Amino acid sequence: MENNPNLFEIFENIFSDSPKPSKSICLQIDVLENKDISQTQLSDIFEILLHMFIYGFKKLRMGFTEESLSLLKQYFESVGVKFIIDIKQFDPILFKEPCYMVRYCKVESLLEDEDPIFIENYNKFTRTKLSDYIAVYQDEYESLIFISFELL
């Protein structure tokens, strides 16, 4: 993903202007229209959307506030996607909760140039829809931020 200039050119085009109306930009990901998609195709879509999230987050200099994220949500709606953010106060007990255990990847740092780390054991969990894929970003020892996506 990191060496795909075409993908990042698309992201640059999306985030270089003001948000467009809902579903007005087509990403032309073939499997978005197919209801019977495989778990591999779902994971590919998730990874593309997560990279788009991180790209937009950095480009627009976002923070995890409602006001900041509302602008980013508008950009995602323009490509027919909704992202869900669930912020929980850091607590070691969370590591036993299903939402943490079934996460698909860990976002090391949204503010630096590091890429997401996709967890080796993610295939142990069956995922049947895009929103089953979860990324988690740990904000120091203050909070855990869970990121997932849904198609509009």
Domain ranges of the chain: 5-151
Low-confidence residues of the chain: pLDDT under 70: 1-5, 28-37, 39, 94-95, 98-102, 104, 109-111, 113-114, 118-124, 140-141
pLDDT at residue 122, as a whole number? 56
pLDDT at residue 3, as a whole number? 47
Regarding pTM above 0.85, the answer is: no
pLDDT at residue 26, as a whole number? 82
The token pair that represents 24 in the structure block: 């007005």
pLDDT at residue 89, as a whole number? 85
| b (16+ CB within 10 A) / e for 97-130 | eeeeebbbbebeebeeeeebeeeeebeeeebeeb
pLDDT at residue 2, as a whole number? 47
